[in-house]
Amino acid sequence: MEKVLFREREAFRRDCGDSDYLGKVFHYPVMYKEVMEILRLRERKIVVDCTVGVGSHANKFLQVMPSDSLLVGIDRDEESLKVAHKRLEHFGERVVLVKGDFRDLDSILGNLKISQPEAIFFDLGLSKYQLSNPERGFSFSKEGPLDMRIDRESSLSAYDLVNNLSENELEAIFKKFGEERHSRRIAHLLVEKRKKEPIFSTTQLSKIVIEALPPKSLRYKIHPATRVFQALRIMVNRELDALETGIKKAITTLSKEGRIAVIAFHSLEDRIAKYTFREFMSRHIIKVLLKKPLIPKEEEVKENISSRSAKLRAAEKL
C-alpha cells in the first residue's frame, strides 16, 4: 500500500506540473476500487462525479471507463477545479468539468444536453488540497482567516457566524451540525471573548474551544475543535440541505439500472444518505446494494488515516 501511495503521489505531481506544492497536498481517492466495482464503471458510458475536487477519483474512473465514455465533474470550488482540469486534460473530450452545486444537478445536466447518466458518485469529504491551504480556513491547526467557504464567491463566511450570531444560535449550530456535547460552554466563551476583540483566525477559534472544554474532553483521539469547525463549515456551505437535494435529484436522474454511490465522513452525512435511500426504496424506485455501508480496509486506513471514518453506501435504480 505504501508503494501504491508513493506512485499515486508522484503521478499527481507529474499530472499537475507543480512538484513542490501539489505533491504535498496529494489527495488519495478513498475506497476507489470498491466504488469502481460497485458502480460497474468498466461498462458505463455516462458517469457523473458530483464532487470532483482535484480529480482524484475521476482520474481513476476514466482509466477503466470505455474509450467512448464521458465523465461530468461538478464542484463548487473553483481552485480545485483548476487542478482537476490540468490533471485530467489528457483525457480530452471524455471529461467535462462544471463549476456548480450538485443540488442543481438536473439543470447542470440539462444544460449539457445529458439525460439519464448510468452512474453518479458523491465523495463528501474535504480534500487535502483544501485542508492544506491555510487561507481557506478549514484547518484548526494552521493559522488562517475564518473563511470556510467552499465556493469563494459566496457571501457568508465562518467569521460572520462566529462574530455575529447570538450565544443561543451558536450553541444550536454546534449541537445540531457538530454533535458537540459541550456546545453551551463553547458558545458562551466565544461570545465573552468577542466582546473584547473580534475572532479573526482559525487558531484563535481553536484555542477558545480548547479553553472552554473540561479537561477530560481533551483526551479524545480527535482534535477538540473538530466538531465546532465541522458545524461552522456545514452551516456556511449549507451542506446537509444540498446533500439531501443532490441525492434525490441524482436518483431521479439516473437511468434504469444506473447506480449511485455516496461516501460520507460523519454521521450527519451518512444519515442523510441512509434515509434518502430508504425513502426511495420504500417507493420501489431503487434497491439498496449494501445491507451495511462499506468501510475502508485496515490497510488503507493505515496508510491514509483520513479515510478512517469513511462509509460507502450504494443503490441501483429499478
State the pLDDT confidence band at 20, using cuts at 50, 70 and 90: very low
Q: Which of 155, 306, 175 is nearest to 232 (CA)?
A: 175
Is beta strand 95-99 parallel, antiparallel or unpaired with respect to 70-75? parallel
Q: How far apart are CA 273 and CA 251, in angstroms?
A: 11
In this structure, what C-alpha cell is assigned to residue 238? Answer: 449549507
pLDDT in tens, 194-231: 999 999 999 999 999 999 998 877 766 778 999 999 99
The mean pLDDT value for 12-40 works out to: 70
Three-state DSSP class for 262?
Answer: strand
Domain residue extents for the chain: 2-123+239-317, 135-237
Domain spanning 2-123+239-317: which CATH class is it, in words?
alpha beta
pLDDT in tens, 125-169: 788 888 888 899 998 888 999 999 999 999 999 999 999 999 999
Please report the pLDDT score of residue 5 as a whole number.
47
CATH of 135-237, one of 3.30.720.210, 3.30.1330.10, 1.10.150.170, 1.20.1260.10: 1.10.150.170
Q: How many CB atoms lie within 10 A of CB 94?
A: 16
Q: How far apart are CA 188 and CA 292, in angstroms?
A: 39
